Structure 1
């Protein structure tokens, strides 16, 4: 049985002295407030003000005004603010860890993953923004005679629509490159985790970000999401594939850009030569970080037949040792699910699988004795087509294990999905691992890791294939998506046209010779 306990350190609420100043930052109040409860305890967090259409208009107007001045400031000044923000996040991490835990119910270790993500991205974009945003002078059509400059212009006001599961990482790490690129940001965080986003805005302003440049509006996506998209110059969204399709349609109608990171049904492959003990241990975090409420987490494990029994034995032993709890400290390994709908989905997937012949190797039970949305980390075997959990994303602490006879069979099974976000391959032969990884249809593949190696490498892009989304965060791509390029070409001395008295035929022959010479000189 999974170890579980309720600790005296569990909070009943965040102090009003912390909450109210954050609520005051939101551009909200024109619509009725909603009550937000702590998932781990059911205690009230706040009556959260909601934004009306007039509030949204005001937020965008303020952001646009602030953006005009911000875009004129040197990049080095914007970078300095990111560096100070980085320090504030690390120095004040205890406060933001408390907020994230209370709002989501996740363990402190998993909340710290978000602090680390924001720090890494702040440092990375502070290090590369000046180079990425610098003007370029590419070769002109006629060297010396044609001068070409490529300049980068911010989009304007970027809408960052972020989910509840990673409220700090996904609200902030997408906003930072947008801001350093010269844009303003209007955030629409999930109601459940709005305080986390508001804390980040307050911290950024203390780091020197101009007031009004980063605004937050509050409300359910179904209520205000369309209004936000209707006013934005670019949309960055993280969430479900179904909602992503709707946002793509809305953005497409306005011909504005968008980036979507959506769902995942991610596979983990254990090859015959894998380090089984290490794979079984690290797969725990790959599957159950934030109680499995992570688009990058593993929901399918394919294990070579020759090591299947050993891997399953060690993996299940680790799963059964996971400590559940909601304390605001590092004493628990896994926290609560965040919503009733999540625990209902988990329960439904497990019950459907068991009714159709699946075997529960670990977990499989809700734990209302701990809190309203606790559910044991669960391992299923004998999962087959026709079971809901076989294809649908559970987004909870449930993983299914499958026996395979070869690398080829594992790759085929891994790719048997409409999703394509993340994957993991385990082998002692890293060359073999990379070769297998290259054949998996996923935006990121980790060899001998679950998801942190790729996700935490801020200089590399991250995103999905298939119904897991489009566009990328992290890396140069994560900043350049927020800018438009402008080419300015200046022609000097001679026109790009026949000289006076030259026939079009002679012009064509001259240019043909020119093109051939340039090719022979290997010029661009």
Structure 2
């Protein structure tokens, strides 16, 4: 098949100032390597080292040594590095998007989403890290007699394991607050999308980050990821729920912190008082973004009452007009699935549902005429509990729709899942505000499918139930990488009272004091 890459990506994809950084990260032919494929045409675009236990050991040894100096680096210096990195990401956005598309097969707009996320995250935490880490005075047990200050210090070396579907965002956005908090990071990108991670790491180095503070180790997940989990002082993981459980067991045994964004079977509710055009646009966005290969994409749509036929007709027509293509044109609305494995999974789950009675309203087939892993946006109806995709994540552009009698029933169906990551609701404002808190997920989008909650970085975002632990974004997204220290001073009189005071008398006086504090709301 003829290559579809733009001329600037062949044969030398990197500008001169970045090429040196990456050249040293690719091993010689004598070293075991892993081929990296371009989903647009299934050709090999390069190789990366097949790292193992010894690579991880060395990375952690170097990172631990360097972290001690990084922890003592002034906040202003760390902030300056991250702000310079922010500028470099925007400066090299075209190159970053090219690399993301090459490795994932996604469309241009989805690649830009990653650039925007990284820049926004860097800007947000650079502006807030010092304040979050500054010792904070807290209320003592008894006014005047005691005082307390909350201190924060870095945990050490953070382990990060990121997936293939967002190789830029998830390779670096979670690491930025960890670095600003004074930690070092050892990161494992997915072996299918390592070049994006290596490229953005080179921008961190260009921004002034000491090299041994951030290490990227490429290699197979069970080997490299497992070794990172055994070494790190805190583990950040994004990926499947099954893998999250395995890593969680390791973290629990080692008594280290663990943050995980896992799978989702995300619902979208369309109320009778929704704006139809906005609901259709939002549903399409939630279906085809990143070809449906994101944890927060919409896979279930519940439409209330008389809205059902109008919504379904318009939704299906819009999906049938989607422009799919292998290429770098901004007008392409949906790209390829990422691999043969993803195509096989999507095909199997849709075919199994159809064989058991589900009806295909649109899509339902691969498109090898466009590229080896393309699959049409697919809408099913009549999906029942005996079908695998009723409860299990498809991770592709596949949605099933269901009519419900009222909003209360829609909420019941939305909550009928082991997952709890993301949800959307299209409705009049008062309707949506009343319903949203009743949906048991980490983030609910009103008149949007997923981007509103993801884009609001000031609010923590995580998963409920089988969708994860802890959260990224907001204060928690940085403070989770720190250890809290309570330093308290007792003045004049010990809490246990003077030795000369009888215990019963002391208890009576303290009881009266506690009552007084309650009246004063202290």
Do these two structures clear the TM 0.5 threshold for a shared fold by scoring above it? yes
**Partner SS state of residue 475, structure 1:** coil
Contact 2:139 / 2:148 at 8 angstroms: preserved in 1?
yes
What per-residue deviation string (whole Å, max 9, x for no partner) do you get for residues 138-186 of structure 1? 1222333323221101111111100000111111110011111111111
Deviation for aligned residue 1:461: 1.1
Contact 1:140 / 1:146 at 8 angstroms: preserved in 2?
yes
What does residue range 454-465 of structure 1 map to in structure 2 within 5 Å?
A: 454-465=453-464
Deviation for aligned residue 1:30: 10
2:361 corresponds in structure 1 to 361
From 15, 18, 32, the counterpart of 2:12: 15
- Please say which of residues 21-30 and 160-169 is displaced more in the overlay: 21-30
What does residue range 399-478 of structure 1 map to in structure 2 within 5 Å?
A: 399-427=399-427, 429-478=428-477
Contact 1:27 / 1:216 at 8 angstroms: preserved in 2?
no
What per-residue deviation string (whole Å, max 9, x for no partner) do you get for residues 286-341 of structure 1? 11111100000000111123011111111111101111112123131111111111
1:380 corresponds in structure 2 to 380
Deviation for aligned residue 1:25: 3.9
Deviation for aligned residue 1:271: 0.5
- Please say which of residues 90-99 and 351-360 is displaced more in the overlay: 351-360
Deviation for aligned residue 1:7: 6.4
Deviation for aligned residue 1:273: 1.0
Instruction: Please give the alpha-carbon distance, in whole angstroms, between the structure 1 residues aligned to 2:299 and 2:147.
Output: 54
- Please say which of residues 122-131 and 175-184 is displaced more in the overlay: 122-131
What per-residue deviation string (whole Å, max 9, x for no partner) do you get for residues 197-253 of structure 1? 111111111112122111111111112221111100000000000000001100000
1:172 corresponds in structure 2 to 172
Flag the 1:8–1:245 CA change in 2: closer, same or farther, 3 A.
closer
TM-score (norm: length of structure 1):
0.95
**Pairing 1:191–2:162 present:** no
Deviation for aligned residue 1:363: 1.2
Instruction: Please give the alpha-carbon distance, in whole angstroms, between the structure 1 residues aligned to 2:408 and 2:158.
Output: 43
**Partner SS state of residue 158, structure 2:** strand
Instruction: Please give the alpha-carbon distance, in whole angstroms, between the structure 2 residues aligned to 1:187 and 1:253.
Output: 21
Deviation for aligned residue 1:23: 5.5
TM-score (norm: length of structure 2):
0.95
Instruction: Please give the alpha-carbon distance, in whole angstroms, between the structure 1 residues aligned to 2:127 and 2:512.
Output: 45
Deviation for aligned residue 1:77: 2.0
Flag the 1:504–1:297 CA change in 2: closer, same or farther, 3 A.
same
Instruction: Please give the alpha-carbon distance, in whole angstroms, between the structure 2 residues aligned to 1:295 and 1:286.
Output: 11
Contact 1:378 / 1:397 at 8 angstroms: preserved in 2?
yes
Deviation for aligned residue 1:509: 2.6
1:297 corresponds in structure 2 to 297
**Structure 1 gaps, min length 5:** none
What per-residue deviation string (whole Å, max 9, x for no partner) do you get for residues 405-430 of structure 1? 11011111111111111001001x21
Instruction: Please give the alpha-carbon distance, in whole angstroms, between the structure 2 residues aligned to 1:495 and 1:350.
Output: 69
Contact 2:152 / 2:482 at 8 angstroms: preserved in 1?
yes
Instruction: Please give the alpha-carbon distance, in whole angstroms, between the structure 1 residues aligned to 2:22 and 2:149.
Output: 44
Deviation for aligned residue 1:26: 7.3
Deviation for aligned residue 1:513: 2.6
**Structure 2 gaps, min length 5:** none
Deviation for aligned residue 1:493: 3.5
Contact 1:13 / 1:45 at 8 angstroms: preserved in 2?
no
Instruction: Please give the alpha-carbon distance, in whole angstroms, between the structure 1 residues aligned to 2:436 and 2:443.
Output: 9
Flag the 1:28–1:234 CA change in 2: closer, same or farther, 3 A.
farther
Deviation for aligned residue 1:443: 0.5
2:58 corresponds in structure 1 to 58
Instruction: Please give the alpha-carbon distance, in whole angstroms, between the structure 1 residues aligned to 2:113 and 2:255.
Output: 35
Segments ≥4 residues shifted beyond 6 Å: 5-8, 26-31
Contact 2:423 / 2:445 at 8 angstroms: preserved in 1?
yes
2:287 corresponds in structure 1 to 287
**Pairing 1:515–2:492 present:** no
Contact 1:25 / 1:216 at 8 angstroms: preserved in 2?
no
What per-residue deviation string (whole Å, max 9, x for no partner) do you get for residues 64-84 of structure 1? 112111111222221222211
What does residue range 42-81 of structure 1 map to in structure 2 within 5 Å?
A: 42-81=42-81
Deviation for aligned residue 1:85: 1.2
Flag the 1:107–1:192 CA change in 2: closer, same or farther, 3 A.
same
Contact 1:23 / 1:195 at 8 angstroms: preserved in 2?
no
**Partner SS state of residue 400, structure 2:** strand
Flag the 1:128–1:34 CA change in 2: closer, same or farther, 3 A.
same
**Partner SS state of residue 346, structure 1:** helix
CA RMSD of aligned residues (A): 2.1
Contact 2:358 / 2:382 at 8 angstroms: preserved in 1?
yes
Contact 1:291 / 1:337 at 8 angstroms: preserved in 2?
yes
